[in-house]
Amino acid sequence: MTYEERLQNVSVLGAAGKMGSGILLLTAVEMADQSLKPENKDKTFVLNAIDVSPQGLSGLMNYLRGQVRKLAEKKTVWLRTMYADRDDLIENFDIIDEYIFHVLNIVRPSTVIEAAFRSNLVFEAIIENKDLKVKLLSQIRQNCSENTWFFTNTSSVPINLIESEAGLNGRILGFHFYNPPAVQKLVEMITTGNTKEDVKEFALAYAKNLRKVIVPSNDHAGFIGNGHFMRDALHGLQEAEALAADKDIPLYKAIYMINKITQDYLVRPMGIFQLIDYVGIDVVSFIMSVMNPYHEDEEIQHHLLDKMLEQGVKGGQYSSGDQKDGFLKYKGGKVFAVWDIHKQEYVELEKFKDECDEMLGDLPESNVAWKSTLRMKNKEEVLKAFFDDLKKLDTLGAKLAVKYGRRSKEIGEQLVNSKVARNIDDVNTVMLTGFFHAYGPVNNFFD
């Protein structure tokens, strides 16, 4: 079966979800682009958008329409070539509208799993629940062709478990898009010892057409991205508790301080508690619970996450993309307050921020904001100068930041030593590309 034939009938499970909708958008556009090629114009392409929520599917179609328009506006020259035989399409807006119709016409919304039974390729993008994944993929496997392939978007569950329990025998691999899939360039590809070579080859070709950066990860729970992020988050939680105890300050102040250190002092796009909120406290807690049984030599869980969930504080994002409140409260996209886990209420920054900043101490004059590093040609040089200056300071903030940076490096090296990642470059690529860090965690900045 050729690449184009494989794409003639595809299904996405969990299509109305945040990850599923992005995967569906990318796949719908790729299928539409393939169908417009002269050699494929007589072929029918079908993309089943499967989700349990009818309302979600309705919203999905509106999302697709808006996103496809944006994409079409960026490639009108190519579209003119593809529609060269259409005398009725004259203006750019005619061509764009026709392309939107063409893409949406490929998509078939459905609330029943039977829609996937004839698919050549099935993307699974449901919640991080191994048993549910196995149940759904087993059901499809029992009713589909033996030539159907399965790509799971799991970010933590070992692929070999899904493969063996669902009876997929080398027809599955992990294809972990980063959030949001339509924007993020990174995909982690995880194979098992049974994964067929042609499945891998198709995955690489598909990723190349989507202009994604593929990083292979070995099949260990959490893989590279969450393998680093979960341990990094765990360190942040532990450091916040230790700081509160050591300085005899409320935990909410320590949370603010560790978040500031991981953002401003470590030159990251957001602090560690902001990142936990962004992913979702419930999601982080669940991923840790998936990983923990597979790492007997370390404890990958933290009671603060459980406490937050018991108090009904989950973080995450609204369907609009706006941030929900978690450890931090947000107003206009900025941190406005911090959750007091003891009083179960938010405390506004203006009541304690200055006091905490004074405790941390000033940053060196060579400090650099994460955003300004994005266009720097001499980024490594600037960062080295800043971290060299930071290491010379005797302030609380500098000491905590250097300790945090060293721990981050240890985690990266641990992923290589335990053979989760092939090498240091793969770890750094995941954190640079998938998490938008200004530099890879395995570096010489904090030596």
Query: Domain holding 201: CATH number?
Result: 3.40.50.720
What are 168-179's pLDDT values in tens digits? 999 999 999 998
Q: Judge if 79 and 114 occupy the same domain.
A: yes
What are 390-408's pLDDT values in tens digits? 999 999 999 999 999 999 9
Q: Judge if 31 and 152 occupy the same domain.
A: yes
Q: Judge if 310 and 428 occupy the same domain.
A: yes
- pLDDT classification of 73: cutoffs 50, 70, 90: very high
Measured distance CA(36)–CA(27) in Å, rounded: 14
What are 355-366's pLDDT values in tens digits? 999 999 999 999
Domain hosting 241: range is 225-434
- pLDDT classification of 340: cutoffs 50, 70, 90: very high
pTM, 2 dp? 0.93
Judged by average pLDDT, the poorest of 22-26, 39-43, 304-308, 325-329 is: 39-43
Q: Is residue 440 part of a domain?
A: no
Q: Which of 14, 61, 356, 343 is nearest to 177 (CA)?
A: 14
Mean pLDDT value of segment 253-282: 97
Q: Judge if 163 and 260 occupy the same domain.
A: no
Structure tokens at 62: 């509106």
Is residue 167 pLDDT above 90, yes or no?
yes
Measured distance CA(296)–CA(277) in Å, rounded: 27
Q: Which of 276, 293, 294 is nearest to 285 (CA)?
A: 276
DSSP state of 86: -
Is residue 321 pLDDT above 90, yes or no?
no
Overall domain count for the chain: 2
Is residue 320 pLDDT above 80, yes or no?
no
Q: Judge if 125 and 7 occupy the same domain.
A: yes
- Write down which residue in 194, 217, 240 finishes a domain: 217
Q: Judge if 207 and 104 occupy the same domain.
A: yes
How does strand 121-124 pair with strand 107-110?
Answer: unpaired
- pLDDT classification of 319: cutoffs 50, 70, 90: low
pLDDT at 442: 98
pLDDT at 333: 86
Q: Is residue 447 part of a domain?
A: no
Q: Judge if 116 and 45 occupy the same domain.
A: yes
* Cβ neighbour number for residue 369 with a 10 Å cutoff: 11
Looking at every residue in the chain, the average pLDDT score rounds to 96
Q: Is residue 103 part of a domain?
A: yes
Backbone angles phi, psi at 176, to 5 degrees: -90, 100
Q: Judge if 205 and 230 occupy the same domain.
A: no
What is the dihedral sign for C-alpha 62, 64, 66, 69? negative
What are 81-129's pLDDT values in tens digits? 999 999 998 899 999 999 999 999 999 999 999 999 999 999 999 998 9
Q: Judge if 256 and 358 occupy the same domain.
A: yes
Mean pLDDT value of segment 410-437: 97
Q: Give me the residue label for tokens 């990142």.
A: 275
Q: Is residue 361 part of a domain?
A: yes
- pLDDT classification of 317: cutoffs 50, 70, 90: confident
pLDDT at 330: 96
Q: Is residue 140 part of a domain?
A: yes
Structure tokens at 125: 């993008």
Q: Judge if 196 and 232 occupy the same domain.
A: no
Q: Judge if 73 and 48 occupy the same domain.
A: yes
Q: Judge if 134 and 249 occupy the same domain.
A: no
